[in-house]
Structure 1
Amino acid sequence: MLESALYLAIPVIFVSFCVVYHIALHHPTLTHKKKQPFGFSIAHSSHRGGAGENPENTLLAFRHSVEKAKTDLIELDVLLTRDKRVVVVHDDEFSHISDRLGSVSTTLYEDLPLVFDKEPIPLLSEVFEMFPNTAINLDFKAPDPELLDHVYDLIVRYNMRDKIIWGSGFNNEEFNKLIVRKDSTIKRFFSQPRALRIYLLHVLCLLPFVHIEEDAFEAPYIHSTFVREEIFPGIPPFFLPLAVWCMKRLFMSKSLFSHLRKRGLVVLLWTPNEWSEFEEAKQTGVDGVAPMHRTWGPKPEEFQKSQKSKALSLARTQRPRASIAHQMAANGSSPLLVSIGSNFWNVRCDYKVKAVFNVGTHMSVARLSTGKFLIIDAAPALNNPTLVKELNELTSNGENIEAIIHTHPFHTGSIVTLSNLYPKAPVYGCPRHLKMFPDLKWTGDLSEPTNLARWQPEVDLRIPTGTEFFAPAENNHFSSIWAYHRESTTIHVDDTLSYASTVKFPLSIFLKPGLSFHPMLSRGGIQPRPEAPEEFKTFLQTVMQDWDFENIAAAHMGVLIGNGKRELGALLERTQREFDKLTKKYSKK
């Protein structure tokens, strides 16, 4: 009897849910209050001011978009300079707009470089003054409460509250909560994690039953380049069409966009650029698109006429977005051997986890006062003849190499390659290296106190206390020897720390931009003793006290230029709760 009732109940429940879901999906105002309408249109939007036609995020680009393309909405990004001026720029590092080394947050406004050597980086106040009647989509490029305060003061001063959509794409919910608390009346777009949550809820047929706080849903236009470079790097070509088709069904869902619009949200697609893409975007029922080039609106024949000029403008303005360490330094150093500071060079190259996630890796070279060179670590870039040529020129074919030191127990893939290139150079390694390569002519164990102090005070080497350095598990890559080059004020560190000015999808699901600890921090990186978390914290505090450093060259994912000590202190403060949890966990054992 009970089984018969269950057999009857299950289909009844399923059918009932389907009916309720269908009603809630198509008539969401039955259960949710519809959001207040926007006081402006977003149909005609300009991504970074139309970065494909003019230098991005500049007054020239914004003027072109407003006066010639008749844009409804300008999309821009904001950061804070060293002297607390709010500037319109996409990345903290200069690398995406200039050949100069440096970062916005460590530079005075008057010393900022020109965008592509052409246009100055504008102040947000200048944009507000020049376009008082144009709506602005404002993206915070740093989860900085001080930046939020300065931006809000400008919004109030220029009476722009009802013309702003703001938010931050970062995976930082505390900062996004600060945005809401600052002024809940200003329209807000989704952070990237919360946007992904919307997609997941829609797939699970739960979205109609969930409250939505945000006002604007900004989704990517899916095309083959985006899928190949952003979502599935390294995808085999024969899988690409299927992947594009699947991603379009997920990220450009008509039913999703329709539901959100019925709840009073606006939906914006970024960044279609071809006329056929505009038409496809329009068919999805969005409120607007935000292209890099011609915005939504021109007739097909007009769009075709613009192709030649667009191609010329692309060649003039577009540069590959890369880490600062991939760029040529202003003093003429090469693209591979990059000067980070006085007499210190860093080399970056690709390193993919699971053949998909490119987290990068590195090696460094430091010049000593004797004129000799210390090579720190080895990287796959040593297989590149260009790098070998540059190293030979710098070190007189290896004759001026003081020593090669390998600081990370698990960075072993290029150790033999480097030793074969420079067989006369003394080589020091970690205990694990000496066991793995017994036939290599090791000069000594780098972890021994006499070797750690061998190049002081010019290069100070330290092992992080409280970490699993000497006997780590095979998957525990947290700890390595830290190297501080005093003259360049630079720390070379491998997996313990990571730094990225921006994080691309899909890594952005797991990582936040900025300085961070390796994920193994709470999964074996710290020794399983109650005292170990405090010992590691003390190590970091001692480093910040003893070393006057500005730059941090991290293996994954890049180089932090400037503000290194401040960022490390902020990281330690952010992770205090995690250290407390580890102490409590290990105290129970």
Structure 2
Amino acid sequence: MSAKIYDLGAGFWSIRGSFIKNSIIDIGGQSALIKLASGRFVFLDSYTLTGEVRQQVMSLTNNGQDVEAVLNIHPFHTVHCAQMAKDFPQATFYGSRRHLEQVPEINWAKDLVESDAVAARYTELEFSLPKGIYYIAPDDAVHAGSLLVYHPASQSIYVDDTFEIPPSKLLNALQPTLGLHPTTKQALKDEANAGQQYCDWASNLAHKWRDVRYFCGAHSGLVGFGEGEFESALVSIIDGARAELEDS
């Protein structure tokens, strides 16, 4: 899969890339470039930029000099961080505790990416950390937890793993739907009402970010939603999963 960049408007570019799992299958990867009100830029997630995508990014960002930060929002997406730090040495790198442990050669910011301090620093973005499930699960195979980001100006939601577009729907953008990451049940915290906490969080998020138009998923592609479709799709999937998750 060759990398591509999509201009979603209002200063948001979705970067779709490749990620080969187990040396066999390309499950895809993503990053995003966002232009701030200051005229400077931030990335969501790290990705090794090459070819035409790299050229376009460098053209937009004054050869990279206007990139002020990289926000690495998924604790288990660490493969491209070191290269991104080499490509944008002047940028501040934010990550989770696991990023700091897995890629110690980077001069990580003191504030963790999921902190209130980072959210306050980038007011063009809205952040939401799932409740009821682990952000960094004890089992390295459980990746349902991630920091979700919404860019109201472009109506774009950026999601690593927590929600996904089922493969059968990728070819039918007219009727997009949503699914939960397959490890969601395993990601539930060992505490009372964890399932209810997660479902209530997701339902509230559907209403709060009801204006989502573009869904950028790490491994399930970029799809568009019509007015009200994101809200109804997320509410529907949570309503369908609530009984199983709350009984866990």
**Class of the TM-score when normalised by the shorter of the 2 chains:** 0.7 to 0.9
SS at match of 1:478: coil
Aligned counterpart, 1:542: 204
Question: CA 1:363 to 1:575, structure 2 compared with 1: closer, same or farther past 3 Å?
Answer: same
Equivalent of residue 368 in structure 1, options 36, 39, 44: 36
- Quote how far apart the aligned CAs of 1:530 are: 3.5
Question: CA 1:377 to 1:480, structure 2 compared with 1: closer, same or farther past 3 Å?
Answer: same
- Quote how far apart the aligned CAs of 1:392 are: 1.0
In the alignment, structure 2 segments of 5+ residues that lack a partner are 171-175
Aligned counterpart, 1:268: none
Aligned counterpart, 1:451: 118
TM-score (norm 1): 0.39
Structure number with the higher helix fraction is 1
Equivalent of residue 426 in structure 1, options 92, 110, 127: 92
- Quote how far apart the aligned CAs of 1:412 are: 0.5
| C-alpha distance in 1 between matches for 2:107 and 2:63 | 19
- Quote how far apart the aligned CAs of 1:486 are: 1.3
Equivalent of residue 350 in structure 1, options 7, 13, 18: 18
Aligned counterpart, 2:71: 405
Aligned counterpart, 2:184: 521
Question: CA 1:411 to 1:353, structure 2 compared with 1: closer, same or farther past 3 Å?
Answer: same
When the two chains are superposed, the root-mean-square deviation of aligned CA atoms in Å is 2.3
- Quote how far apart the aligned CAs of 1:539 are: 1.8
Q: Deviations over 1:48-100 (max 9, x none)?
A: xxxxxxxxxxxxxxxxxxxxxxxxxxxxxxxxxxxxxxxxxxxxxxxxxxxxx
Structure number with the higher strand fraction is 2
- Quote how far apart the aligned CAs of 1:499 are: 1.8
Structure 2 residue 244 is matched with structure 1 residue 584: no
Structure 2 residue 127 is matched with structure 1 residue 465: no
Query: Max radius of gyration: which structure?
Result: 1
- Quote how far apart the aligned CAs of 1:422 are: 0.6
Question: CA 1:359 to 1:437, structure 2 compared with 1: closer, same or farther past 3 Å?
Answer: closer
Structure 2 residue 57 is matched with structure 1 residue 394: no
Report how many residues are paired: 241
Aligned counterpart, 1:569: 232
SS at match of 1:390: helix
- Quote how far apart the aligned CAs of 1:568 are: 4.7
TM-score (norm 2): 0.87
| C-alpha distance in 1 between matches for 2:25 and 2:177 | 18
- Residues 501 and 514, structure 1, Cα contact 8 Å, conserved in 2: no
Q: Deviations over 1:104-129 (max 9, x none)?
A: xxxxxxxxxxxxxxxxxxxxxxxxxx
In the alignment, structure 1 segments of 5+ residues that lack a partner are 1-321, 327-334, 505-512
Percentage of identical aligned residues: 25
Question: CA 1:398 to 1:560, structure 2 compared with 1: closer, same or farther past 3 Å?
Answer: same
SS at match of 1:539: helix
Equivalent of residue 532 in structure 1, options 190, 194, 200: 194
Where do 1:547-562 residues align within 5 Å? 547=209, 548-562=211-225
SS at match of 2:30: strand
Question: CA 1:553 to 1:340, structure 2 compared with 1: closer, same or farther past 3 Å?
Answer: same
| C-alpha distance in 2 between matches for 1:564 and 1:355 | 39
Aligned counterpart, 1:319: none
Question: CA 1:467 to 1:563, structure 2 compared with 1: closer, same or farther past 3 Å?
Answer: farther
SS at match of 2:219: coil
Aligned counterpart, 1:52: none
Identify the structure with bigger relative contact order (alpha carbons < 8 Å, sequence gap 6+). Answer: 2
Question: CA 1:538 to 1:565, structure 2 compared with 1: closer, same or farther past 3 Å?
Answer: farther
Residue identity matched to 1:370: S
| C-alpha distance in 1 between matches for 2:76 and 2:227 | 25
- Residues 515 and 568, structure 1, Cα contact 8 Å, conserved in 2: no
- Quote how far apart the aligned CAs of 1:516 are: 1.2
